Every structure is written in structure tokens, then in C-alpha cells.
């Protein structure tokens, strides 16, 4: 499947999200006897403004992201082999966020925010401009796919209800609330057929796992204090960052992987780990 999605998307025609200046760095990720190490940092955006929300293509040939261009945020793709960043969408009138290749590989999904404040959840087939609108009545902020029809999502608060984490089926339109006040990080747990999410409880923030086939959740661990961004390796190890330090959960505690201040980097937020588990994309302050 290597490069298929990359090549197809070359034919694509032309708030509630915080947009401080950020950059995305790509590191090699190596499993060691005592944990993990990172090496070979590379700024893959080097673009003024908000460059954020990285996600790897299924074949790891590229990294999707939301990046600033001409005063708005468009979907971009970094080609890892050729070390080149290309904007895939040019959509005057609205910005795109949270781009992810869907599990069957045929679509890219993302959240749109129009200039008039209207927000929807879309997916689009590479090479076509007409989107499939997945959600418009409930406002999706962040999400993770479980399969081609079902996903876990952050639904924004309304005047009468708090923000919630919800389980959605785009084919049957079934919906279920799993909890209130979620974090913004959602990930498929490939080793367990589950989805990981964060609940920001009053005293501590918790990482939970939802098992759709059993319709049940379980507690995994508390987050790194006041951190709401995580990523998972293929084997299920959880990574989080705070300030300049990168951590992973070893099953009992949060252990340090690296201090990015050695690379003059700080302000770690969103993370993404390749499907092969050998690379990690880290969002840091610009």
C-alpha cells in the first residue's frame, strides 16, 4: 500500500481550537532494554503559525497534519521519504482540523470550521471534492476511528450540557455517551481492539480504555499531571509529554524517555507514533 494514498491525494483540488504557534518534529523511536530512546530530530513543518495534530498514514509513508496557510488552517501531508511538505486542501471560507486516514484507507476524515462558526465532521475520497458529512448536529472536536463505520469522539459542550466522550456509528447513527469532560486525545489500541481516551475528573485525569465489542470501559492509569495528549505504540505502551520532557507508561509508573530541552525544544503537546512503532511525531512550541 506504500505511497498509494500519497499519490491519490495529489489530485485533490483545491474557534474552538487553540492556535498558538507550533511546529512538528519527527524523531526515530527505538525500544531499549530499559524503555525507549529518541534520536535524529527533524522539523517537518518549519512553517509560521499553527502546525499541529499529526497522524501517520496507514503505510507510514507520510504524516497528515493541520497547518497554517494564508490565514487559515488546511490539511497538509509530509512525505517522509522525500522530506517534503505539501498542502492537500485549499478551501477559502473554512479551515480543517484533525485529519486522519480512515481505517479502510479510502478516505481522509477531518473537522471543518467555517468562517461563520459552523462546524462539521467530514470525510472525503482522494480525487473528489464532494465530502461525506458524518456529523453536523453534534459538534465533533476530536476523534479516533475504531473501524470504517464507528469512532470515539469529543462532543463539544452546549448551553445545557458539558462536553462528552461519545461512541458513534456513522452507518446506523447510533450514539452513546461514555463520560463527561474528556481530554482531546483519542487513539485506537491495536493490541486490544479498544480505544483509549482521557477523562478530566476533578482531582485527577484518567486514561480509560473502551472495548466496543464488550461495551465496557476500564481504567488504565492517571495521566502525567495536567497533560491531555497521548500516543500509543503498536504494543500498547502510552506516551505523554509535559513541558520539555517525554514520558512513557511502563505498566506501573511514568518513566522518562528524553528531555527535549537538549534540542532546544519545549511545550510538548500532541503526539503521534507510526504504525510500525519506529517513529514519533511531537508537537512543540514554535
Strand 205-211 to strand 22-31: parallel, antiparallel, or no bridges (unpaired)?
unpaired
Whole-structure pTM value: 0.92
Please determine, for residue 15, whether its predicted confidence score (pLDDT) is greater than 80: no
Each residue of 57-66: pLDDT tens digit? 999 999 999 9
Each residue of 127-180: pLDDT tens digit? 666 888 998 877 899 999 999 999 999 999 988 889 999 999 999 989 999 999
**How far is C-alpha 199 from the chain's CA centre?**
16
Q: Answer whether 167's CB lies under 8 Å from 179's CB.
A: no
Residue-level pLDDT at 144: 97
Best CA proximity match to 226, nearest among 241, 248, 244, 246: 241
Residue 214's contacts (CB-CB under 8 Å, 6 or more residues apart) are none
Phi, psi of 74 (to 5 degrees): -120, 155
Please determine, for residue 28, whether its predicted confidence score (pLDDT) is greater than 60: yes
Q: Within 13 Å of residue 257, how many CA atoms lie on the same side as its CB?
A: 27
In the chain, what are the domains? Answer: 4-13+20-285 (2.120.10.30)
- Three-state SS for 200-262 is ECCCCEEEEEEECCCCEEEEEEECCCCCCCEEECCCCCEEEEECCEEEEECCCCEEEEEEHHH
Each residue of 269-278: pLDDT tens digit? 999 999 999 9
**What does the DSSP assignment read for 146-168?**
SSSSEEEEEE---SSS--EEEEE
CA dist., res. 256 & res. 188, Å (int):
23
Amino acid at each position: 500500500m506504500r505511497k498509494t494514498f500519497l499519490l491519490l491525494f495529489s489530485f485533490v483540488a483545491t474557534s474552538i481550537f487553540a492556535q498558538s504557534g507550533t511546529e512538528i518534529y519527527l524523531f526515530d523511536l527505538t525500544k531499549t532494554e530499559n524503555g525507549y530512546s529518541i534520536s535524529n530530530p527533524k522539523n517537518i513543518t518549519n512553517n509560521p503559525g499553527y502546525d499541529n495534530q499529526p497522524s501517520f498514514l496507514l503505510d507510514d509513508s507520510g504524516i497528515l497534519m493541520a497547518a497554517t496557510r494564508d490565514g487559515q488552517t488546511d490539511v497538509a501531508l509530509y512525505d517522509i521519504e522525500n522530506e517534503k511538505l505539501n498542502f492537500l486542501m485549499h478551501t477559502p471560507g473554512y479551515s480543517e482540523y484533525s485529519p486522519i486516514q480512515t481505517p479502510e484507507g479510502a478516505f481522509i476524515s477531518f473537522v471543518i470550521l467555517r468562517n461563520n462558526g459552523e462546524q462539521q465532521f467530514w470525510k472525503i475520497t482522494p480525487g473528489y471534492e464532494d465530502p461525506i458529512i458524518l456529523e453536523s448536529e453534534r459538534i465533533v472536536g476530536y476523534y479516533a476511528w475504531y473501524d470504517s463505520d464507528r469512532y470515539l469522539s469529543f462532543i463539544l459542550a452546549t448551553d445545557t450540557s458539558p462536553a462528552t466522550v461519545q461512541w458513534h456509528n456513522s452507518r446506523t447513527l447510533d450514539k452513546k455517551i461514555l463520560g463527561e469532560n474528556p481530554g482531546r486525545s483519542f487513539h485506537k489500541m491495536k493490541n486490544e481492539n479498544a480505544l483509549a481516551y482521557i477523562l478530566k475528573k476533578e482531582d485527577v485525569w484518567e486514561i480509560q480504555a473502551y472495548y466496543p465489542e464488550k461495551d465496557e470501559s476500564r481504567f488504565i492509569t492517571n495521566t502525567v499531571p495536567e497533560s491531555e495528549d497521548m500516543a500509543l505504540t503498536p504494543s500498547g505502551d502510552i506516551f505523554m509529554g509535559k513541558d520539555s520532557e517525554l514520558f512513557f507508561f511502563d505498566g506501573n509508573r511514568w518513566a522518562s524517555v528524553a528531555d527535549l530541552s537538549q534540542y532546544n525544544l519545549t511545550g510538548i503537546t500532541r503526539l503521534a507514533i507510526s504504525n510500525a512503532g519506529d517513529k514519533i511525531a511531537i508537537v512543540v512550541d514554535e
